[in-house]
Amino acid sequence: MRGFQFSNFLPDDKPIGGFDDLLKLFMQLLNYTAGDAGEALNWMTQLDKQHHLTTNEYGMGDFINDLKEKGYIKEDPRDGSTSITSKTEQTIRKSALEEIFGQLKKAGKGNHNSNKSGIGEEKNADRREYSFGDSLDQIDMTASIQNAQVNHGIGNFTLTERDLEVEEKDYKTLTSTVLMIDISHSMILYGEDRITPAKKVAMALAELIKTRYPKDTLDIVVFGNDAWTITVKDLPYLQVGPYHTNTLAGLELATDLLRRRKTHNKQIFMITDGKPTCLKENGRYYKNSIGLDRKVISKTLNMAGQCKRLKIPITTFMIAKDPYLQQFVRDFTEVNGGRAFYSSLTGLGEYIFEDYIKNRRKTVR
């Protein structure tokens, strides 16, 4: 047996070159520049000087021209500023989905099949006699008339309850999700960028629902001193503000959105790195960023309990490792009856993906 042979590692120093390779880098940089095309291109130029990303045959100027011609960026004729297009916004979402959920098994659009049959959308091969309580749209009239002719003869047509034949349908779940993203200032403090992975996950989840489960709904709520909704198109441009963390406002808005949804299955995903530090009362902010303020925590936990009574589970994705912060998340999760994941930034997407798909399979009404 020859065994293993070892040799010196020779790194690949070949330049990236080519439009497709540079486009992937450009899309990644847009996540860090909050959709600022000019800043992303400036970063690429600096990287090209240091690491020779381009070749003598294809330079940065060629790449920028191709971006314009292919519809990825546009130039404002008034001041010459560069911005991304809707095509680029969609490409960023697709790139995030491929990066985070690359192992996703392909499934039919909008399908959340369960192992139960009954009133549903898609017919299956099972047939049975009619029983009290079956809906009229389950009755196969053609088969029922044929049964009547066989059972009672053609000359004197009679249709009885025993002639009715019911076709079973596969039950499918529909889910409404609100994704809450913490945009307080702590999401960029302590030398760690937490907002970029968070919004990348949001873009991937939005693209996942849009392409695989288009009958599901996704609302996105961001919360700092206040809470407000944003659209999927806003995600590439999302930035952290000089905000405290008003988790209560985010939960109130998320709950209000879910109340309006007609689906049986509702849930909240919350990405945060810290404790609630802010409330708004009578138009004024009550803030305490030093510690776990009893007043703030109490009202936040009460809201978590209200969500439980409304049958809205909250899954918290905690991206901070401080023991006292994790203890708050444990208390919050216990009150709500939801779930908590203490995730690193690199594993955040996989956690959310697995939990989202698992919920689709088990929450059948």
Domain membership of residue 139 as a residue range: 121-171
Same domain? 167 vs 179: no
What average pLDDT does this structure show over 342-346? 66
Q: Could you give the number of structural domains in the chain?
A: 3
Give the count of beta carbons closer than 10 Å to the beta carbon of residue 159.
15
Asked whether residue 140 falls in the same domain as residue 192, the answer is: no
- Within-domain flag for 13: no
Whether 338 and 191 share a structural domain: yes
Give me the torsion for CA of 20, 26, 31, 34, rounded to 10°. -140
Examine residue 116 and state whether it is found in any structural domain, yes or no: no
Residue 184 shares a structural domain with residue 328:
yes
Over residues 88-106, mean pLDDT: 74
The per-residue pLDDT for 327 is 84
Q: In this structure, what DSSP letter does residue 139 have?
A: B
With contact defined as beta carbons under 8 Å apart, do 41 and 82 qualify? yes
At 363 the pLDDT is: 39
pLDDT, tens digit, for every residue of 168-201?
765 557 889 999 999 999 888 777 788 888 888 8
Q: How many angstroms separate the CA atoms of 105 and 362, rounded?
A: 18
CA dihedral of residues 349, 355, 357, 361 (deg, nearest 10):
180
What was the pLDDT predicted at 349? 67
Can you say how many angstroms the Cα of residue 133 is from the centroid of all Cα atoms in its chain?
38
Please indicate, yes or no, whether residues 326 and 185 belong to a single structural domain of this protein.
yes
**3: pLDDT strictly greater than 60:** no
CA–CA distances in Å: residue 229 to residues 32, 90, 219, 249, 298 = 21, 19, 7, 11, 25
Domain membership flag for residue 95: no
Q: Coil, strand, or helix at residue 25?
A: helix
Instruction: Report the C-alpha gap between 120 and 257 in whole angstroms.
Output: 25
Mean pLDDT across 248-257? 97
Question: Pick from 51, 52, 30: which is nearest to 41 by CA?
Answer: 30
pLDDT class of 123 with cuts at 50, 70, 90: low
Given 171, 205, 231, which residue is the final one in a domain?
171
> Following DSSP, what letter does each residue of 270-333 receive, concatenated?
EEESS---EEEETTEEEE--SS--HHHHHHHHHHHHHHHHTT--EEEEE----HHHHHHHHHHH
* Predicted local confidence at residue 230, as pLDDT: 96
Q: Are residues 129 and 29 in the same domain?
A: no
Are residues 179 and 166 both part of a single domain? no
The mean predicted confidence, pLDDT, of the chain is: 82
Residue 107: inside a domain, yes or no? no
Q: What percent of the chain has pLDDT above 90? A: 42
Top mean-pLDDT range of 4-18, 117-131, 142-156: 142-156
Q: Are 270 and 348 found together in one domain?
A: yes
Would residue 113 count as lying in a domain? no
Establish if 273 belongs to a structural domain. yes
Helix or strand run (H / E) with residue 248: helix 247-259
Whether this model's pTM surpasses 0.75:
no
22-75 pLDDT tens trace: 999 999 999 999 999 999 999 999 999 998 899 888 999 999 999 999 999 999
Structure-token pair, residue 345: 């930034």
- CATH code (residue 198): 3.40.50.410
128 with 180, same domain: the answer is no
Contact 268, 315 (CB under 8 A): yes
User: Is residue 345 domain-resident?
Assistant: yes
Indicate whether 55 belongs to any domain. Answer: yes
Confidence of residue 348 (pLDDT cuts 50, 70, 90): low
| Range from 48-52, 270-274, 321-325 that averages highest in pLDDT | 48-52
164 lies in the same domain as 54: no
pLDDT at residue 353 in the model? 65
Beta bridge partners of 284: 281
| Over residues 336-352, mean pLDDT | 74
| Range of lowest pLDDT (1-10, 27-36, 47-56, 125-134) | 1-10
146-158 in b/e form (b: 16+ CB < 10 A) is: ebbeeeeeeeeee
* Cα angle, residue 195 at apex, residues 192 and 199 outer, rounded to 5°: 145
One domain, residues 166 and 183:
no
Q: What Rg do the C-alpha atoms of the chain give, in angstroms? A: 27
State the CB neighbour count (10 A cutoff) for residue 139.
15
Please tell me whether residues 127 and 204 are part of one structural domain.
no
Q: How confident is the model at residue 289 (pLDDT cuts 50, 70, 90)?
A: confident
